[in-house]
Amino acid sequence: MNPMTDLGLRFVRRPGPGGRAANLAALGATAVVALLVTFLIAGSLGLSHRSERIGWRSADKADPATAIGLLNLDDDQRVDGHRLAVLDLATLRPNELPPPPGLEHTPKPGEVFVSPEVAKRWSSLSKRYNLDQPTGVISDKGLSSPEELIVIRGVQTIAADEHPQYVSSWNENVWDSRMLGLLIAVAFGITLVLFPILSLVGQAAGVAAKRREHRLAALRLAGATRTQVLWLSAVEQAVLALAGAVIGLLGYTVLSPLIAQVPLGGGRWYVGDITVQWWTVLVVLVAVPVLSVVSALIGLGRVSITPLGVVRGQTRKGVSVLRIGLLVIGPVILAYYGMRAAILPLLIGVGFAALAVRIIGPWAVQVVGKLMANAANGPVTLLAGRRLVDDPKGAFRPVAALVLSGFVTGFISVFMPSGEDDPSFNDMRIGVALLLSLVFLTVAASTAAGAVGTALDQAAPARALRRSGVPLSVIERSARVAAVVPVVGVGLPVVGFGALCGLALSGGKVITQGSSGVLLLLGQVVAGLVLATVAGAAGAPVLRKASAN
């Protein structure tokens, strides 16, 4: 075995002072990343599976001269207070094509096939259709969800004034319009949550960055080559990330029956629709460790080039103010294309806006730190300000996901219609709640890992301050201030920037009705402050222990 590989495995088993807490934080954060990635992939595939079973109902591509049938869907009827869809199906010419999915045969005039939920309520419908019993029950292969209420009845013909759909097959591969709309919403959701997830990946990889920097710098000074220290770090990070990915996959498998209860797209999901496939497992087991290792190696560039700078605690290079120009790219793209554009340009615009927040964040932290240090009237604010100025990237990293969640909240606060009993509005409300839940889970994991990582990063400076006579209470208070200030100084403007991007996309119109948008923004602010405060308090014991030696 390669000596550096063996040494990396030893570091995982025996991480040294503070290493166990760092490894556990990295493991937990990586597990959350794997769970979220699995959920996003499985959810997108689940929409595809649902659409494959019911897409034929939306088919309308056949030439009337050669079409085999007509369709007319009415989804405004009611049964026991629930929305009922009624699909009329007329066969135009004899054929031997396979019947519609989930049906024993193509319905003849007068025949009625119903979903299991409608069959349970048939007593209230029998008079409407003049049938004591329905002709047959639609199987799972023809339903979008277990609780779907649909009646498929055969008719002789469909009047032209009902604008029937012409079909050339009962099994056409067509996307259902509602599932397609959900998939587009999922694409936006993935774009919005992508950068918080990537920040969580970086947080998981960099949770023990300072500890690893000093350890690897010592190896460089002892004669190890640049390639050797990078390989050692990659091995250590890959083992932790792979273990976290396995835990995340197992966690998703356990939670999938609960996830299937989410009533998105008209009803709950079949567990089989969101069950992880073998290639999804392979993607997660490869992608999560690779991203984690890349993030770790990027953070160790200083070690591989200037190990003496690490040991001496040399200040990092300042962040350029030119980054602020990136803020205009996303809103300009969104405003130029608007809501009627193709989906790809809009996703690019949202991605650029979120990327700008991630890149400009350290510069904003540095500016806030300089203002704090210059206006300091006591040791607490002075130490906190100098911490933000000396290492703005390290100070922003623990709160990056939290700040990006403010962008997500600000963006979606513009798009929250409250239509009564409208399927699209219901899907949007559930989708917003689901997206915010994913973001909050990401933020909580990132904040927890950041509390440990920040405490370990500050162990050496805190140890030096304690030896010079600075009270421990002052050090801990300054650490808490340094954790909260970026959330207030950077997070609040980012919430406004997210709302600005949402308005750019909507053409300046606030689609949200009522006070739900304002309540959402207030909830984001409160949640952000609470998480930052809790993280600062949770990191205090780790900082106290790590700086005691």
Q: What is the pLDDT of residue 248?
A: 93
Who wins on pLDDT, 294 or 312? 294
Q: What is the pLDDT of residue 15?
A: 66
Same-domain pairing of 184 and 146: no
Lowest mean pLDDT across 68-72, 507-511, 537-541: 537-541
User: Domain boundary residue among 307, 341, 370?
Assistant: 307
Look at residue 83 and give its three-state secondary structure: strand
Q: What is the pLDDT of residue 413?
A: 85
**Which distant-in-sequence residues (6+ apart) come within 8 Å of 109 by Cβ?**
90, 154, 155, 156
**What average pLDDT does the segment 352-361 reach?**
89
Distance between CA atoms of 288 and 124, rounded to whole angstroms? 53
Who wins on pLDDT, 206 or 280? 280
User: Domain boundary residue among 141, 167, 193?
Assistant: 167
**Helix 423-457 with 19-54: angle, nearest 10 deg:** 160
Q: For residue 131, give its domain range.
A: 60-167
Same-domain pairing of 197 and 224: yes
Same-domain pairing of 179 and 163: no
Alpha helices in 207-342 (DSSP H): 209-221, 226-259, 278-299, 301-305, 307-312, 329-337
540 in a structural domain: yes
Q: What is the pLDDT of residues 493-502, one digit of tens each?
A: 999 999 999 8
66 in a structural domain: yes
Mean pLDDT (the chain) is 82
Rank 364-373, 426-435, 452-461 by mean pLDDT and report only the highest: 364-373
- pLDDT at residue 450 is higher than 80: no
Same-domain pairing of 186 and 264: yes
- Taking alpha carbons only, the member of 308, 286, 304, 285 closest to residue 296 is 304
H or E, element range at 463: helix 459-467
pLDDT-derived band at 19, boundaries 50, 70, 90: low
Who wins on pLDDT, 198 or 84? 84
Q: What is the pLDDT of residue 143?
A: 93
Same-domain pairing of 276 and 373: no
Same-domain pairing of 186 and 38: yes
**What average pLDDT does the segment 434-447 reach?**
82
Q: Provide the CB-side half-sphere exposure for 193 (13 A, CA).
A: 24
Q: What is the pLDDT of residue 18?
A: 58
Task: Report the share of the chain in percent with pLDDT over 90.
Answer: 18
- pLDDT at residue 449 is higher than 80: no
Q: Give the total number of structural domains in the chain.
A: 3
Lowest mean pLDDT across 8-12, 127-131, 307-311, 408-412: 307-311
**What average pLDDT does the segment 323-347 reach?**
82
Q: What is the pLDDT of residues 60-117, one digit of tens each?
A: 777 888 888 899 988 888 888 788 899 999 998 887 888 999 999 999 998 999 999 9
Strands (E), 300-397: none
339 in a structural domain: no
376 in a structural domain: yes
- Angle at CA 219, nearest 5°, toward 216 and 225? 95
- pLDDT at residue 48 is higher than 80: yes
Distance between CA atoms of 302 and 310, rounded to whole angstroms? 7
346 in a structural domain: no
- Taking alpha carbons only, the member of 188, 266, 261, 263 closest to residue 422 is 266
Same-domain pairing of 405 and 263: no
Q: What is the pLDDT of residues 400-430, one digit of tens each?
A: 888 888 898 888 888 776 656 677 777 777 8
Same-domain pairing of 22 and 81: no
pTM of the model: 0.81
Q: What is the pLDDT of residue 257?
A: 93
User: Domain boundary residue among 263, 286, 307?
Assistant: 307
Q: What is the pLDDT of residue 113?
A: 94
**What average pLDDT does the segment 225-234 reach?**
76
Same-domain pairing of 13 and 152: no
Q: What is the pLDDT of residue 196?
A: 85
- pLDDT at residue 215 is higher than 80: no
Q: What is the pLDDT of residues 422-431, one digit of tens each?
A: 777 777 778 8
Q: What is the pLDDT of residue 150?
A: 93
DSSP 85: E
Same-domain pairing of 94 and 153: yes
Strands (E), 402-469: none
**Which distant-in-sequence residues (6+ apart) come within 8 Å of 82 by Cβ?**
149
Q: What is the pLDDT of residues 119-151, one digit of tens each?
A: 988 888 888 888 888 899 999 999 999 989 999
25 in a structural domain: yes
Lowest mean pLDDT across 77-91, 270-284, 508-522: 508-522
- pLDDT at residue 311 is higher than 70: no
322 in a structural domain: no
492 in a structural domain: yes
Q: What is the pLDDT of residue 254?
A: 94
Inter-CA distances, 419 with 67, 181, 189, Å: 37, 17, 21
Rank 171-185, 188-202, 349-363, 434-448 by mean pLDDT and report only the highest: 349-363
Q: What is the pLDDT of residue 17?
A: 58
Same-domain pairing of 366 and 504: yes
**Helix 343-374 with 329-337: angle, nearest 10 deg:** 150
Look at residue 7 and give its three-state secondary structure: helix
- pLDDT at residue 320 is higher than 70: no
**Which distant-in-sequence residues (6+ apart) come within 8 Å of 365 by Cβ?**
388, 392, 395, 396, 486, 489, 490
Same-domain pairing of 287 and 436: no
- pLDDT at residue 247 is higher than 90: yes
- pLDDT at residue 452 is higher than 90: no
